[in-house]
Structure formats: C-alpha cells, structure tokens
C-alpha cells in the first residue's frame, strides 16, 4: 500500500520570492537547493520539515519569469496541510495577514494563496509523536506546518481518473474523495466530479503530485501501473528518492516515490539546503550552472 503524499511539485517564476514566502513566512525549511535535472539552468527547491521527510515536502521547479498559470483539467491544485489545533490557526491567521496575505477561515480551516496564486489550506488535525516541525524565526514549533494531508484534482475525464487512481495506485474510493494510505500516513485526493476544461501550466500551478512507496515495494508499483495501462516511465534516480511517473487518462501527472535514501544523502543534516547541491553527473558543470542561477537567500544562513 502507498503511504500518503510524498511531495507536491509546483512551478515558480521567481525563486528568490518563493524562498521568502515558503521559508521566511510559512517557516518551512529549505532542505535542498538543487537544479531541475532535466533543465539544469534553473532551480529545483525543496521545502519541508526539519528533516525534509516525505509527506512534508513541497518542491518548486523554477521557470524564470513564468506567466501565471491557470488551474484546470489535467491538473492538481490546492495543498492541504495539517497543523496542530485552533491556536495554530489563530497564529497563522494573524501572521499571514501581517504579510499582506488574504485569508479565509471557517470550520477549523484556514485558506490562502501564495504570492503566485497557489492555493493552500491549513487544517487543525492534531499532532503526532514523530512530528519534526521546522525551526524558523517567528514561527513557534507548536504552530508549524506539519505535513501535507491532501490535494485537489481537476480531471478532463473524472470517472476515468477515478478508475485509474483506484486500480493503478490502490486508492480507496470514498465518493467525493480518494484516499491513499492508512493509519497515520493518509493522503486525500479531492476529485472534482465534472470534467474541467484543460488548464495551463505556469507560475503558481502544480506540476505533479508524488505518493509514498516503501523502498522495497517500488518495483511492484511500477508493475501495477503497467498492468493498469498507465504507461509508467522507467525508474528514475532523483538522488534523494527513486521515482516512477505516469499520466493517467484524465491528464493528471502522478509519481510514485521511495522513502529513501532521503534529503541528507549528500549533505550534513545540519547544513542541508544552504549550498547548491548537484547530482554527480552535473558536478563537472557547477561553475557554468551557478553562473546561470539567480542568487537566493536561505534564512538558515543567518546562523
């Protein structure tokens, strides 16, 4: 069984502003500063909890100067985060408003959008013993964002998407939503019931959503996707995890990613995310790659 949402990957047109919001305002840790392996002249930024663990990760492909996208058919949108309690919602309502972010609060939920329009919702859902909230100036650990617990999806063909996600990824069909995982490791995928007109990728939109596979089961999931007629890719080594990708019939790009080896595989956990981390095959090109990247400020460097 898959074990919740591994990460959400979105698009930003401005990495410096992206870091200011996700690390500086939301208090997530910038756990990996690397580049898009397929487009090494642009950043791929990873934000998460203190250890950069699966289920806490939101990542961004940089497309410098990208125009705003338009969520629609064939795309995920809106990221749901678990926070501890109503007091955490009180804190975020005040903090986001102080940073000129419009919020909408009701029934134990707080909704807002990042500066590029990507929608988020914070849900008061308690704490767990294994929580490892990021350490950030101005964000008390008890109020920190803890993990991603859901996404919304808009399909070009909802019933075909539903069948593919249930059969290919083993999700449980609860009607208005699909659930992946069980126990403490559950992710919800809200699937809009009506077909949506095709969306347009751009700044502030989600590129794909990844789901957690135990390392030992990863090859079996690729076989299952193949049997479900989803035409998965070969296993791709992303350094921090291994991935298989597939686009389901309604246009949604999904990924199955392993737990390991983790964000600390190439950096000391105390300093990960501060320096530019490159995969071995790009290391010989470091000088030229760095020359093409716009400098960003990781708040962790202040220490």
Is the pLDDT at 229 greater than 80? The verdict is: no
Q: Predicted confidence band at 302 (pLDDT cuts at 50, 70, 90)?
A: low
Q: Quick check: 225 and 171 in contact, CB under 8 A?
A: no
* Between residues 176 and 94, the one the model is more confident about: 94
Q: What is the pLDDT of residue 303?
A: 45
Closest CA to 273 of 17, 120, 49: 49
Closest CA to 27 of 128, 141, 177: 141
Work out the percent of the chain whose per-residue pLDDT is above 70.
99
User: How many angstroms separate the CA atoms of 207 and 143, rounded?
Assistant: 28
User: How many angstroms separate the CA atoms of 47 and 254, rounded?
Assistant: 19
Instruction: Tell me how many domains the chain contains.
Output: 1
Range of the domain at 81: 5-302
Closest CA to 123 of 98, 159, 148: 148
Q: Quick check: 230 and 248 in contact, CB under 8 A?
A: yes
Q: Quick check: 84 and 124 in contact, CB under 8 A?
A: yes
Q: What is the pLDDT of residues 246-287, one digit of tens each?
A: 999 999 999 999 999 999 999 999 999 999 999 999 999 999
Is the pLDDT at 34 greater than 70? The verdict is: yes
CATH number assigned to the domain comprising residue 183: 3.10.180.10
- Burial of residue 276 (CB within 10 Å: 0-12, 13-18, 19+) is middle
Q: What is the pLDDT of residues 124-167, one digit of tens each?
A: 999 999 999 999 999 999 999 999 999 999 999 999 999 999 99
For 176: left if phi > 0, alpha if psi spans -120 to 50, otherwise beta; the answer is alpha
Q: What are the residues whose beta carbons fall under 8 Å from the beta carbon of 100, sequence distance 6 or more?
A: none
Which residues is 136 bridged to in the sheet? 139
Q: What is the pLDDT of residues 45-97, one digit of tens each?
A: 999 999 999 999 999 999 999 999 999 999 999 999 999 999 999 999 999 99
At 297, phi and psi to the nearest 5? Answer: -110, 115
Burial code (b: 16+ CB inside 10 Å, e: under 16) for 92-119 equals bbebbeeeebebeeeeeebbbebbbebb
Q: What is the pLDDT of residues 208-225, one digit of tens each?
A: 999 999 999 999 999 999
pTM of the model: 0.98
Q: What is the pLDDT of residue 275?
A: 96
Distances (CA, A) of 186 to 1, 40, 63, 292: 11, 33, 31, 39
Q: What is the pLDDT of residue 72?
A: 98
């Amino acid at each position: 069984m898959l074990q919740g949402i591994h990460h959400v990957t979105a698009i930003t047109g401005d990495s410096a502003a992206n870091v200011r919001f996700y690390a500086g305002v939301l208090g997530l840790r910038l756990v990996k500063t690397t580049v898009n392996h397929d487009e090494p002249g642009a950043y791929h930024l990873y934000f998460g909890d203190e250890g950069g663990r699966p289920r806490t990760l939101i990542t961004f492909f940089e497309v410098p100067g990208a125009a705003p996208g338009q969520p629609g058919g064939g795309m995920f949108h809106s990221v749901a985060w678990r926070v501890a309690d109503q007091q955490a919602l009180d804190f975020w309502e005040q903090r986001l408003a102080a940073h000129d972010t419009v919020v909408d609060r009701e029934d134990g939920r707080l909704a807002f959008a990042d500066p590029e329009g990507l929608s988020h919702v914070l849900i008061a859902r308690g704490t767990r013993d294994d929580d490892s909230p990021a350490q950030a100036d101005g964000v008390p650990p008890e109020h920190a964002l803890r993990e991603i617990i859901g996404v919304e999806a808009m399909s070009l063909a909802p019933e075909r998407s539903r069948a593919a996600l249930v059969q290919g990824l083993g999700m449980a069909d609860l009607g208005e939503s699909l659930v992946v995982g069980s126990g403490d490791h559950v992710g919800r995928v809200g699937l809009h019931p009506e077909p949506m007109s095709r969306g347009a990728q751009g700044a502030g939109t989600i590129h794909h959503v990844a789901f957690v596979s135990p390392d030992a089961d990863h090859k079996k999931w690729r076989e299952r996707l193949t049997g479900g007629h989803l035409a998965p890719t070969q296993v791709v080594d992303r350094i921090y995890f291994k991935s298989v990708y597939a686009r389901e019939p309604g246009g949604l790009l999904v990924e199955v990613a392993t737990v390991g080896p983790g964000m600390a595989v190439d950096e000391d956990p105390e300093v990960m995310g501060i320096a530019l981390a490159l995969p071995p095959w790009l290391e010989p090109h470091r000088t030229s790659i760095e020359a093409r990247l716009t400098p960003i400020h990781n708040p962790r460097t202040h220490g």
